[in-house]
């Protein structure tokens, strides 16, 4: 039997923080959920403004990979931490016969998803660490900008591995560490532009302060690959986007 790779452990450090503030895990769960409940009505607009629309291109790439991965497989596609449902809706549009479920801990975000998706999608208010989903039943899981917000990110990866049918994949999109030359521009943007937009547009500077801090604390792509392997995946593809600002992983459950 193949030995499990050493833990990167960087993900575990997130469990005891809310942004830069030390908290218990229960506080982290409640604060993160309350934050997304609060910003849900402005979430999509803020994403467009903060990323100059780039998140749409990244998500398009993610959806293409997800559609390819689920082809020929039985079961539903679960869009974990699916938020307002943009990934789920795009997968559903590409493969109308497939059941697509948005799973999210925030009632506010799910309400936005339901407003957009109506009865074309399924909705599940659930935590990524304990999904009420049968083991080995899903054709694929997409997880876009959700891993760093999980209460226990490493446990959520294990839960993804549990619900996926053998040989099927988790398609993971998350912020990462940009190339050194690009870092100063990115730092300026996250230090000044994002909190200002958060205050002006979402009227919630602290929420967007948290988002910036959570991105800064999130481990580098190499560590995420090791965590995926530790959770029972084989990393089949790693794609850096916008000089490493975000990274896409396709991880096949072993
Ligand atoms: C940054 S949003 C990402 C939304 C969407 N996937 C996207 O890419 O725009 C993070 C989402 O993770 C959800 N979330 C946070 N912690 C969670 C948990 N433990 N279980 C499930 N969802 C969680 C939040 O409610 C929020 O909708």
User: Residue 164 is part of a domain; what is its CATH number?
Assistant: 3.40.50.150
Helix (H) or strand (E) holding 22: strand 21-22
Tell me the whole-structure pTM to 2 decimals.
Answer: 0.96
**Does any ligand 1 atom lie closer than 6 A to the CB of residue 208?**
no
Instruction: Judge whether 5 lies within some domain.
Output: no
State the pLDDT at residue 123. 98
State the pLDDT at residue 29. 97
Instruction: Judge whether 151 lies within some domain.
Output: yes
Instruction: Judge whether 3 lies within some domain.
Output: no
Digit-coded pLDDT (tens) for 109-124: 999 999 999 999 999 9
Q: How far apart are CA 196 and CA 208, in angstroms?
A: 9
State the pLDDT at residue 202. 86
How many A from CA of 2 to the centre of ligand 1? 33
Burial of 23 by CB count in 10 Å (0-12 exposed, 13-18 middle, 19+ buried)?
Answer: middle
Segments in the chain forming alpha helices (H)? 10-13, 25-39, 43-51, 54-70, 86-94, 107-117, 153-163, 183-188, 194-200, 205-217, 221-230
Instruction: Judge whether 101 lies within some domain.
Output: yes
**Does any ligand 1 atom lie closer than 6 A to the CB of residue 32?**
yes
Closest-lying ligand 1 atom to the alpha carbon of residue 83: 27
State the pLDDT at residue 72. 96
Hey, is 125 helix, strand or coil?
strand
Range of the domain at 24: 10-253
State the pLDDT at residue 3. 67
State the pLDDT at residue 7. 78
State the pLDDT at residue 43. 93
Question: Partners of 204 in the beta sheet?
Answer: none
State the pLDDT at residue 115. 97
163, 133 contact by CB (below 8 A): yes
Instruction: Judge whether 102 lies within some domain.
Output: yes
Instruction: Judge whether 136 lies within some domain.
Output: yes
Closest-lying ligand 1 atom to the alpha carbon of residue 108: 25
Total domains in the chain come to: 1
Listed as ranges, residues in the chain with pLDDT below 50 are none
Instruction: Judge whether 4 lies within some domain.
Output: no
State the pLDDT at residue 1. 56
């Amino acid at each position: 039997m193949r030995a499990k790779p050493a833990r990167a452990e960087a993900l575990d450090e997130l469990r005891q923080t809310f942004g830069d503030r030390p908290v218990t895990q229960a506080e982290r769960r409640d604060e993160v959920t309350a934050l997304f409940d609060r910003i849900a009505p402005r979430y999509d607009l803020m994403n467009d403004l903060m990323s100059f629309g780039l998140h749409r291109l990244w998500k398009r790439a993610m959806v293409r990979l997800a559609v390819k991965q689920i082809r020929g497989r039985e079961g539903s596609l679960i869009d974990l931490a699916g938020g307002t449902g943009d990934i789920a809706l795009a997968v559903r549009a590409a493969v109308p016969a497939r059941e697509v479920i948005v799973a999210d801990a925030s009632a506010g975000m799910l309400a936005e998803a339901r407003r957009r998706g109506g009865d074309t999608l399924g909705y599940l208010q659930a935590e990524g660490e304990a999904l009420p989903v049968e083991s080995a039943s899903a054709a694929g899981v997409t997880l876009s900008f959700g891993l760093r917000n999980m209460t226990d990110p490493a446990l959520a990866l294990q839960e993804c591995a549990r619900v996926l049918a053998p040989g099927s994949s988790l398609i993971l999109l998350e912020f990462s560490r940009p190339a050194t030359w690009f870092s100063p521009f990115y730092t300026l943007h996250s230090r000044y532009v994002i909190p200002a937009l958060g205050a002006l547009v979402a009227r919630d500077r602290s929420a967007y302060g948290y988002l910036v801090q959570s991105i800064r604390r999130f481990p580098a792509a190499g560590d995420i690959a090791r965590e995926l392997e530790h959770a029972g995946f084989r990393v089949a593809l790693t794609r850096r986007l916008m000089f490493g600002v975000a990274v896409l992983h396709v991880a096949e459950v072993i």
